[in-house]
Structures are given as structure tokens and as C-alpha cells.
Structure 1
């Protein structure tokens, strides 16, 4: 179900931009060498950024093979490859801040940005890890910035198990690192609740999808 987008009453910043990282980031250690960092409300003015991205990004729908048929991907997409200009300067600022914060640990910069628009509770992404390319056999990082209405992002060990739940929206940041893409999987499930739209921005290093 769809609900009108409602901005956060706490997000009254006129010009969007990332806040500090450093000690504001909370890390949770997972099994098998995986970890997750969370920084709530990292993007100030996130509701204004959502409005801008929703308008200017050239969103498109995709269809993919699933078993013996072709199905609609239940969200809109846009991928910005290495060297391709990002659609808003705030995303450049965010990527620069992430590169500075994680430079020593990651050992390389974030270079690409994949954007997803979840229009309502019917849009979703199934359980998966970002294992296309180097993520299948190397430790890496995926940093996700969420703007718009909060949606649940679930994490569980490969093959099932108790899921961890993070409600992400209004400028929240989550970073999945270590072996997370290889040994854990994540999903944004459908919901029957009336819920507004959300945009996620996934920053990745070269060769990771």
C-alpha cells in the first residue's frame, strides 16, 4: 500500500549534507568475520535530498529471469558507474566522507553508486549478498544511505537463521563490511502497511555489485 511521503519533524535543515562519522558510528560484530556499522540521521536535510533525487534521477524499471519466467523487478533503478557524474552534489560529499572514514580499513575508494526507489510497501528486494564480481570471494564494503520513509533492512546468516532488523530512512547510513557479503545476506521485505517511498543509495568499490 502507498502512503504520502511524510518528512521527519527532526529534519529541518535547509541545505542537505552529510554529518560527521568518527565516534558517531556504531559497529556490531557478526559471525564469520562480518560486521555492520550504523549511523542514524547521517544526512542532514535528507527529506529535501529525497525530493531532489526522486525528481532528477532517470529511474527505469527492469525485468529479470527468475526460474522459468521473466518478472518485473519490484523497484525502480539507476546505476552510476565509475566516472559517471552523480545526480546530486550531496552524493559526492557523502562518497568523499565515506572514503575518508574507511580509507585505511577498506584500502580503496568507493567508486560506484546504485540507486533504488521503493515506491511503496509492494516494492522490495529478496534475500541476497552483493557477490557479483570480487564480493564473491573477497572481503569488501557496501555503504547504503537511505532517504525517504523508513523501511526494514533485514540481515541473516547465509542459509537462514535469526534475522537482525534495521529501520532505515531519513538520512540513515548502514555499512556492511568484512565478510558480510559472502557469509550473510540482506533483504528489504514487502509490507502490507501503508508506507511512503524510500530511496537507497549503495556505494561500492570497483568490481563489486
Structure 2
């Protein structure tokens, strides 16, 4: 397991108060086939401080997964907070509740779980996939992601392959929400980076029965 590099702080986020901004600045990109993505840069102020707290306080674990004939290390550290579990920082509770209120007319149910990923450097990544375990394999749903730490690209493309439709550098308190048919009809990934990048943590909020 490679060590976590130091975080290069954002010049625009040097405050010592961790707080959420308004959601009025969300901008939606329609990808087609019923899929869309909302994006709001810098929703969370004090994101570098939150990164430090989460990096230190979350019970991170390394996982291995079966790939064909061999077991391989998952290239990132993980932690998962199920429904009813206490989240590792109060602002994550506030974020989940604020997102639930904002998207209630479209989603019709609350966000209840939080999955966290720690990308230690540019070698950590997520391959192309959709969050299709559970109801999201057959129903429209939403996955909301708050990112802290150094930005890493989130890329989206159609599930059957083809050109990348959207590329968003996410970090330092940015919010992205994948909605509609996005998990069924699109794939997303966080590619490896050849550039020297510092660590990033993503927090994924999901409704019940979606993984």
C-alpha cells in the first residue's frame, strides 16, 4: 500500500470554518437517454480542513477483489456508513440533509448512506462502471458526491462505450450529482493521473438500496 502524500491546499479555500454554501448555483448538463449531471464548484468552504479531519478520523480500509483468475488490490482506500450510522463529521450530516431537501421533488426519498473513497495519489483510481447494485439497475436514482482534497477528473461516457461526454475536475469542496438514468445508461470513472497530484477524498451519498 503506497503512502498518502501531503495535500496541496487551495489558494481559494484557506478559511478555518467548515460550512456549506447555497445550492442555487447548481448547473445541469443533460447527457441524453434520461441521464443528467448537476455540478456546483466550491459548495463546501473549509474543504482542506475537512480533508484533514476525514483523513485522520475515518477508519479507512484496503480491499481486494477477484479479477478473473487472481485477487487484486483495490486502488484506493474505502469506508462505508450505512443507514443510521453516525457520520464522521457533522457537516456531512448537514450536506446529506441539504441535498435531500433540494432533490426531494425529483428523488422522492432521502439520501441515507455515505461511502467514502481516499485516493492517495495519481496511481489510485476507479475503473469505468455504473452504481448498478440494487434498485439502480432498473430504476432512476441519484448519487451525490462531495469532493475534498486535490482535484481529480470524473469522466462520463455512454454505457455501451464511445466518446467521453463530460469531464469534471472535482476537489476542494466541489459537488456533483448524477441523476436520472445515469447509473444505468452511462458509466463513470476516475482515471489514473500521470501528473503529480495530492490526495483526494470523495463522499458519495445514496438513497436506500443503491450501491
Give the TM-score, by structure 2 length.
Answer: 0.96
* Counterpart in the other structure of 2:123: 122
- For the residues of structure 1 that align with 2:170 and 2:51, how far apart are their CA atoms? 13
1:1-209 equivalence runs, <5 A: 4-22=6-24, 24-163=25-164, 164-209=166-211
- For the residues of structure 1 that align with 2:5 and 2:193, how far apart are their CA atoms? 12
Alpha-carbon shift at residue 12 of structure 1 (Å): 2.4
SS of the residue 1:30 aligns to: strand
- For the residues of structure 2 that align with 1:37 and 1:66, how far apart are their CA atoms? 33
Give the TM-score, by structure 1 length.
Answer: 0.97
Equivalent residues of 2:5, 2:120 under 8 A apart:
no
SS of the residue 1:132 aligns to: coil
Equivalent residues of 1:115, 1:202 under 8 A apart:
yes
Unpaired segments of 5 or more residues in structure 2?
none
May I ask how many residue pairs the two structures share in their alignment? 208
SS of the residue 2:61 aligns to: coil
Alpha-carbon shift at residue 160 of structure 1 (Å): 1.2
1:151-191 Cα distance to aligned partner (Å, 9 max, x none): 00100001211112100000000000000000000000111
- For the residues of structure 1 that align with 2:67 and 2:174, how far apart are their CA atoms? 31
Could you say if the C-alpha distance between residues 194 and 3 of structure 1 is closer, same or farther in structure 2, counting changes exceeding 3 Å? farther
Unpaired segments of 5 or more residues in structure 1?
none
1:71-93 Cα distance to aligned partner (Å, 9 max, x none): 00000000000000000001001
SS of the residue 2:33 aligns to: helix
- For the residues of structure 2 that align with 1:65 and 1:186, how far apart are their CA atoms? 21
SS of the residue 1:101 aligns to: helix
